[in-house]
């Protein structure tokens, strides 16, 4: 482990922890309500409004802090549920094989054949935009990606003799999942979770930017970029603030993932 | 000045000492055998004598001189020149050492391509003549083949051909026959012997098989834990070993240690006219097999003979195409998934490779507790007592209960696997080549353990092996398979004393012994 990568890991952990704490304690941290109109539109940063104001004169800092809540909250929830779903389906497919593997595998293939964002736009257009639809759509899409990676890794593990030993003993599915395969999947799972979390944050931001995500007056970070996009043409920094926070989330999540991947690859080289 | 001189060599990897205090000399034209168990440092020493260290290893002190030149003082370029022209290396597993995407002719003559001296047609001629020297069938065609299209023994010979490309003065053979069947091993040994005498080069032969090494080498170096136990002429090492460790190595093949009459008991497991196969391939046909209480039945054959397939079928892992498997007269379900828990408990299966038969993320305690909970419904203090008793029974320290498999040696892992099967209190134990991944002395201790358990618990054992020496010492009766059919079966004594079938005779003759001149006799008999 070199000093550079452990420094970037610590920085990533600090950034992400900081953002999570700010999101959790938003009402105490934010100076104003996110919906109060306080000053002129697109005011420059000043003592009252540290990051200036948005298109309607609301405090940009407060709106960003509340927007962070949506982005992180949805990304976390979606990633956790999608991960659980992906793990169970992947291990089931890897252990049982046969028709079950075929059905799940081909189903996932068909979902993955359609570009994610277009798939989401179609579903949201048909089913109507609501937080529930949004979250469910994202879960389905993310779960397919979890499945794809984990099915491959679980397949390698399921081919090992200790899985045959479990079969000879007549074990049931939960034992395979939680006792035999999942502990061996941990390194892959942690890395994949981090990457998927970063992508989920970007995905919800992208959907909101396109206007099908979180609806006004509420806004997540992507929605904030959209609301304030016009300001860039009159020389204001308003849209850059939420954009920068989105970038910070993605970079920090990847920094943590890199560290785990590095750590486990060294351990497996040493055969531990 | 000797041809190769190694003085006080100390090789380390990090803080770990791989080799220490190694001093070896060898003369031109001599064959030096390196023997020891895995981890003894024999491959490291073999490679060090051609100036190569594995990544992460370094020479802390000492000297290696080949033909008067210090290899340790050489630059990378000088070493490359040396390896291209004067020394060669034959790796253990030819199957893993060849690139599956290139034709054999290209790989074998790669060095010539690097030197840019020869054209492609010339390279093919070179490859052909090399293959001819190694008596490979139809060299013209063999040239064009890919590694997966030839047998393991042929591939190993192709690798020896590669080593001969530039007429080296020293060849290091790193366990070249370990992965091969006895009859194939014989072919390769014959070629190696032929090559060494024809080439008049020196050779270092690394092996853990004393019999093989005693046939090939002039002098033997016995290694243990990175140090030399003793070194001397082959004859003296075999006939008058000076050290205890060497004595144990030489002695471990004694027959009669597991003496005992097969019990007069009814068959517990009976397989009748089994036909087995995978997909379109029929692997086994018309096999009948019986195992009684307290009986050790050896199922012997070379790789591809179908012996493991039969074992898997009895365990319920491969439903037979035809035929039945019954236990105490009652027919068993073909598929393990449809067998009752009690049947699952009574037939236990031990895998060949303990490394993959134990979950690396489960402690020994978890691995052993599971069958106790599942089959015997034990919990709490009685479970803990049973765990301790099991560890005692397989002669493992109780402290190992909370270790992960990664922290155990190969022999310890196999003991854990045996304990896991014993936990179920089985009637029948199916052992699939359980000692083939282990060193001679460890193998011996596992056999002793199995034998003792079988005596105490009256378990029937189906012992799958390709090792005739083990069979002769260990089994009450023997079943010999060739290409999916049983060619001969009977009590071990009868079969070994008076084999009826040609295949059995050939198999018995190919089993190496430490007797002087064995290889020469075999080669003479062939011609």
Q: What is the mean pLDDT of residues A57-73?
A: 92
A180 min Cα distance to partner chain B (Å): 7
The model's confidence at residue B253, banded by pLDDT at 50, 70 and 90, is low
Strand partners, B65: B5, B70
CA atoms within 13 A of residue A9's CA, in its CB half-sphere:
14
Percent of chain B scoring above 90 in pLDDT: 39
| Predicted pLDDT at B135 | 80
SS3 B17: strand
* CA gap B495, B477 in Å, rounded: 9
Q: Say if the Cβ atoms of A169 and B374 lie within 8 Å.
A: yes
Q: Say if the Cβ atoms of B362 and A271 lie within 8 Å.
A: no
pTM: 0.81
CB atoms within 10 A of CB A27: 11
* pLDDT tens column, A5-37: 788 899 999 999 999 999 999 999 999 888 888
C-alpha distances (whole Å) from A265 to each of A259, A261, A268 are 10, 6, 5
What residues of A are in the B interface, CB distance below 8 Å? 160-162, 164-165, 167-170, 179-180, 183-184, 186, 271-272
Residue A225 falls within a domain, yes or no? yes
Q: Say if the Cβ atoms of A183 and B362 lie within 8 Å.
A: yes
* CA gap B83, B78 in Å, rounded: 9
Structure tokens at B282: 């029929």
| Predicted pLDDT at B114 | 75
| Predicted pLDDT at A248 | 94
User: What ipTM was predicted for this assembly?
Assistant: 0.78
* pLDDT tens column, B467-514: 888 888 889 999 999 989 999 999 888 898 889 888 898 888 888 888
Question: For chain A, how many structural domains are there in total?
Answer: 1
| Predicted pLDDT at A41 | 85
The model's confidence at residue A270, banded by pLDDT at 50, 70 and 90, is very low
Give alpha helix (H) positions in B240-332.
244-251, 307-315
B104 contacts B142 by C-beta, under 8 angstroms? yes
Smallest Cβ distance to B344: which of A162, A169, A271?
A: A169
Residue A181 falls within a domain, yes or no? yes
Contact list, A190 vs chain B (CB under 8 Å): none
CB atoms within 10 A of CB A124: 19
The model's confidence at residue A187, banded by pLDDT at 50, 70 and 90, is confident
CB atoms within 10 A of CB B220: 26
Q: Say if the Cβ atoms of A183 and B361 lie within 8 Å.
A: yes
B449 contacts B479 by C-beta, under 8 angstroms? no
The model's confidence at residue A153, banded by pLDDT at 50, 70 and 90, is very high
Q: Say if the Cβ atoms of A168 and B370 lie within 8 Å.
A: no
CA atoms within 13 A of residue B472's CA, in its CB half-sphere:
17
- All residues at 6 or more sequence positions from B198 whose CB lies less than 8 Å from its CB, including other chains: B133
Residue A122 falls within a domain, yes or no? yes
Q: Say if the Cβ atoms of B362 and A179 lie within 8 Å.
A: yes
| Predicted pLDDT at A36 | 87
Contact list, B348 vs chain A (CB under 8 Å): 168
* CA gap A253, A259 in Å, rounded: 10
Q: What is the mean pLDDT of residues B230-240?
A: 90
Residue A12 falls within a domain, yes or no? yes
Give the chain A residue whose CA is nearest to the CA of B407: A272
B313 min Cα distance to partner chain A (Å): 12
Chains A, B: CB pairs < 8 Å: 51
| Predicted pLDDT at A144 | 95
Smallest Cβ distance to B317: which of A160, A164, A170?
A: A164
| pLDDT, mean over chain B | 88
- All residues at 6 or more sequence positions from B238 whose CB lies less than 8 Å from its CB, including other chains: B210, B214, B250, B514, B516
Residues in chain A: 272
Q: What is the mean pLDDT of residues A238-249?
A: 91
* pLDDT tens column, B110-133: 888 777 677 888 888 889 988 988
Contact list, A184 vs chain B (CB under 8 Å): 359-361
C-alpha distances (whole Å) from A254 to each of A23, A69, A143, B135 are 20, 20, 19, 57
* pLDDT tens column, B326-355: 999 899 999 999 999 999 999 999 998 888
Evaluate if residue A1 carries a pLDDT over 60.
no
| Predicted pLDDT at B254 | 59
Whether omega before A217 lies within 30 degrees of 0, making that bond cis, reads yes
B35 contacts B42 by C-beta, under 8 angstroms? yes
Evaluate if residue A271 carries a pLDDT over 70.
no
* pLDDT tens column, B16-53: 888 999 999 998 889 999 998 877 888 899 999 998 88
Evaluate if residue A65 carries a pLDDT over 70.
yes
Residue A223 falls within a domain, yes or no? yes
Q: Say if the Cβ atoms of B359 and A184 lie within 8 Å.
A: yes
| Predicted pLDDT at B149 | 86
The CATH number fitting domain B267-356+427-526, selected from 3.40.47.10, 3.40.190.80, 3.40.50.1000, 3.40.50.300: 3.40.50.300
Contact list, B341 vs chain A (CB under 8 Å): 170
Beta-sheet pairing, B347-350 with B428-432: parallel
Give the chain A residue whose CA is nearest to the CA of B338: A170
Give the chain B residue whose CA is nearest to the CA of A161: B357
CATH code of the domain made up of B4-251: 3.40.50.300
C-alpha distances (whole Å) from A226 to each of A68, A74, A123, A156, B230 are 15, 18, 21, 44, 80
The model's confidence at residue B370, banded by pLDDT at 50, 70 and 90, is very high
Q: Where are the domains of chain B?
A: 4-251, 267-356+427-526
Q: Taking Cα atoms as reference points, which of B160, B310, B240, B217 lies closest to residue B29?
A: B217
Structure tokens at B242: 């000076």
- All residues at 6 or more sequence positions from B89 whose CB lies less than 8 Å from its CB, including other chains: B47, B50, B52, B163, B171, B172, B174
- Which of the two residues, A108 and A211, has the higher pLDDT score? A108
CA A184-A162-A84 angle, 5° bins: 35
Residue A54 falls within a domain, yes or no? no
Strand partners, B202: B170
CATH, residue A168: 1.10.3720.10
Give one DSSP letter per residue of B208-222, joined into a string: S-HHHHHHH-SEEEE
A157 min Cα distance to partner chain B (Å): 10
């Amino acid at each position: 482990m070199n000093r550079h990568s452990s420094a970037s890991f610590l920085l990533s952990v600090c950034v992400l922890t900081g953002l999570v704490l700010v999101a959790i304690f938003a009402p105490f941290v934010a100076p104003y309500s996110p919906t109060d109109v306080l000053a002129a539109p697109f005011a420059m940063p000043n003592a009252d409004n540290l990051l200036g104001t948005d298109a309607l004169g609301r405090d940009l800092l407060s709106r960003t802090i509340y927007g962070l809540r949506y982005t992180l909250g949805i990304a976390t929830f979606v990633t956790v549920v999608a991960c659980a779903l992906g793990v169970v389906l992947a291990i089931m497919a890897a252990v049982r094989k046969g028709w079950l593997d075929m059905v799940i595998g081909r189903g996932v293939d068909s979902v993955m054949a359609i570009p994610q964002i277009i798939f989401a736009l179609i579903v949201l257009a048909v089913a109507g935009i609501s937080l529930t639809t949004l979250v469910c759509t994202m879960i389905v899409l993310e779960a397919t990606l979890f499945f794809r990676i984990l099915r491959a890794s679980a397949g390698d593990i399921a081919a090992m003799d200790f899985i045959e030993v479990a079969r000879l003993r007549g074990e049931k599915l939960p034992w395979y999942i939680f006792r035999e395969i999942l502990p061996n999947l941990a390194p892959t799972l942690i890395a994949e979770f981090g990457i998927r979390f970063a992508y989920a944050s970007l995905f919800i931001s992208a959907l909101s930017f396109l206007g099908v995500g979180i609806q006004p007056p509420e806004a997540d970070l992507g929605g904030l970029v959209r609301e304030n996009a016009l300001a860039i043409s009159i020389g204001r920094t308003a849209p850059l603030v939420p954009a920068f926070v989105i970038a910070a989330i993605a970079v920090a999540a990847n920094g943590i993932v890199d560290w785990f991947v590095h750590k486990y690859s060294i351990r497996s080289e040493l055969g531990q | 000045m000797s041809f190769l001189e190694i003085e006080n060599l100390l090789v380390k990897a990090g803080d770990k000492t791989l080799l220490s205090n190694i001093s070896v000399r060898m003369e031109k034209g001599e064959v030096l055998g390196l023997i020891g168990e895995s981890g003894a440092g024999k491959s490291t020493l073999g490679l060090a004598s051609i100036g190569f260290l594995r990544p992460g290893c370094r020479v802390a002190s000492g000297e290696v001189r080949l033909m008067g030149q210090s290899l340790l003082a050489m630059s990378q370029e000088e070493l490359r020149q040396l390896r291209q022209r004067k020394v060669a290396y034959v790796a253990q597993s030819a199957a893993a050492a060849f690139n599956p995407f290139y034709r054999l002719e290209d790989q074998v003559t790669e060095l010539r391509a690097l030197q840019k001296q020869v054209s492609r047609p010339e390279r093919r001629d070179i490859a052909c003549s090399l293959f001819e020297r190694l008596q490979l069938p139809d060299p013209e065609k063999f040239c064009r083949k890919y590694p997966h299209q030839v047998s393991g023994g042929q591939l190993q010979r192709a690798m020896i051909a590669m080593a001969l490309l530039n007429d080296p003065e020293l060849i290091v053979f790193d366990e070249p026959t370990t992965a091969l069947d006895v009859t194939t091993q014989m072919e390769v040994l014959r070629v190696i012997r032929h090559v060494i005498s024809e080439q008049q080069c020196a050779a270092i032969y690394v092996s853990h098989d004393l019999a093989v090494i005693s046939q090939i080498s002039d002098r033997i170096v016995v290694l243990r834990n990175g140090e030399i136990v003793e070194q001397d002429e082959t004859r003296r090492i075999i006939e008058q070993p000076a050290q205890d460790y060497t004595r144990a190595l030489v002695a471990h093949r004694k027959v009669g240690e597991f003496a005992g009459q097969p019990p007069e008991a009814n068959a517990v497991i009976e397989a009748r006219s089994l036909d087995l196969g995978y997909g379109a391939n029929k692997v086994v046909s018309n096999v009948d097999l019986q195992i009684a209480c307290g009986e050790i039945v050896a199922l012997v054959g070379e790789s591809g003979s179908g012996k493991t397939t039969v074992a898997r079928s009895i365990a319920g892992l491969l439903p037979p195409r035809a035929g039945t498997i019954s236990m105490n007269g009652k027919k068993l379900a073909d598929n393990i998934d449809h067998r009752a828990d009690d049947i699952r408990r009574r037939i236990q299966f031990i895998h060949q490779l303990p490394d993959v038969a134990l979950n690396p993320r489960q402690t020994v305690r978890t691995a052993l507790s599971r069958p106790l909970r599942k089959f015997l419904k034990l919990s709490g203090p009685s479970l803990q007592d049973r765990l301790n008793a099991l560890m005692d029974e397989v002669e493992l320290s109780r402290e190992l209960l909370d270790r992960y498999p990664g922290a155990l040696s190969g022999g310890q892992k196999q003991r854990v696997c045996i304990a896991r099967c014993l936990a179920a209190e089985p009637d029948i134990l199916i052992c699939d080549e359980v000692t083939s991944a282990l060193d001679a002395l460890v193998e011996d201790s596992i056999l002793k353990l199995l034998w003792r358990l079988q005596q105490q618990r009256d378990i029937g054992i189906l012992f799958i092996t390709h090792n005739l020496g083990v069979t002769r010492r260990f089994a009450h009766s023997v079943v010999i398979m060739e290409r999916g059919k049983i060619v001969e079966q009977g009590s071990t004594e009868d079969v070994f004393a008076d084999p009826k079938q040609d295949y059995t005779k050939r198999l018995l003759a190919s089993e190496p012994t430490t007797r002087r001149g064995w290889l020469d006799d075999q080669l003479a008999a062939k011609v």
